[in-house]
């Protein structure tokens, strides 16, 4: 991003990405028979109920944060383990879908001269597309508490679940350690995997639109 003030322009994109992600988790859980998110007011596209105060503050201070996870009770599913896989995949899938729709909108607007390249609205829309892709693939990393870990858990043989539960309890420490190691060394595992994939899909969805954050 060009300067710290640019973050003000990108708040709508961040809120959209986090809200759609959490809403999708709750919506799929509800469709599979779990009304927990709906009963607690989390089955909504209003971003306020999904924001975690600490996660939101850190997002703007250190560019890493989180939303409040949507509560899910897998015991309400016909198949709890498989149901959790679908719930976990729903968040990243919704982000990719929103990015694809945003890319189509950006191409349509740019091709018809409705948005000027590098203008405020153009940059806001481009960032919304990109942050949705980054959030989707970041969450697919199989480190607890990310969605990718829940997908892995859903396919593990039952005999490995106790060990996985122990791994989950230290997942946050591992995740923070990996992020800090990347910051210290300048070589992040996320930077060499998630960023190229997100950039590739960004170019695909936007038709190679020029971008500046």
Active site residues: 22
**Rounded distance between C-alpha atoms, residue 183 and residue 42, angstroms:** 33
Alpha helices in 112-193 (DSSP H): 120-139, 147-155, 161-169, 171-185
* Coil, helix or strand at residue 51: strand
For residues 198 and 103, the answer to whether their CB atoms sit within 8 Å is no
Mind spelling out the 3-state secondary structure of 58-98? HHHHHCCCCECCCCCCHHHCCCHHHHHHHHHHHHHHHHHHH
C-alpha 21/C-alpha 24 separation (Å) is: 5
Inter-residue contact 67 to 51 (CB < 8 Å)? yes
Q: How far is CA 168 from the centre of its chain?
A: 19
Asked if residue 72 lies in contact with residue 29, where contact means CB atoms within 8 angstroms, the answer is yes
């Amino acid at each position: 991003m060009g300067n710290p003030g640019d973050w003000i322009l990108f708040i709508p994109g961040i809120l959209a990405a986090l809200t759609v992600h959490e809403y999708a988790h709750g919506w799929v859980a509800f469709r599979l028979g779990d009304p927990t998110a709906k009963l607690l007011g989390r089955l909504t596209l209003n971003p306020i109920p999904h924001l975690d105060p600490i996660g939101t503050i850190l997002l703007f201070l250190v560019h890493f944060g989180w939303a409040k996870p949507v509560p899910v009770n897998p015991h309400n599913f016909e198949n709890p383990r498989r149901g959790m896989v679908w719930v976990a995949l729903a968040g990243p899938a919704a982000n990719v879908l929103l990015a694809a729709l945003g890319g189509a909108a950006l191409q349509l607007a740019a091709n018809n001269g409705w948005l000027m390249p590098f203008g405020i609205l153009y940059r806001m829309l481009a960032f919304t597309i990109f942050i949705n892709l980054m959030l989707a693939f970041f969450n697919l990393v199989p480190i607890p508490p990310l969605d990718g870990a829940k997908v892995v858990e859903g396919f593990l043989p039952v005999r490995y679940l106790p060990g996985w539960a122990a791994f989950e309890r230290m997942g946050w420490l591992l995740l923070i350690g990996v992020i800090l190691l990347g910051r210290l060394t300048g070589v992040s595992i996320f930077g060499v995997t998630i960023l190229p994939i997100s950039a590739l899909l960004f170019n695909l969805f936007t038709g190679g639109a020029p971008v500046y954050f």
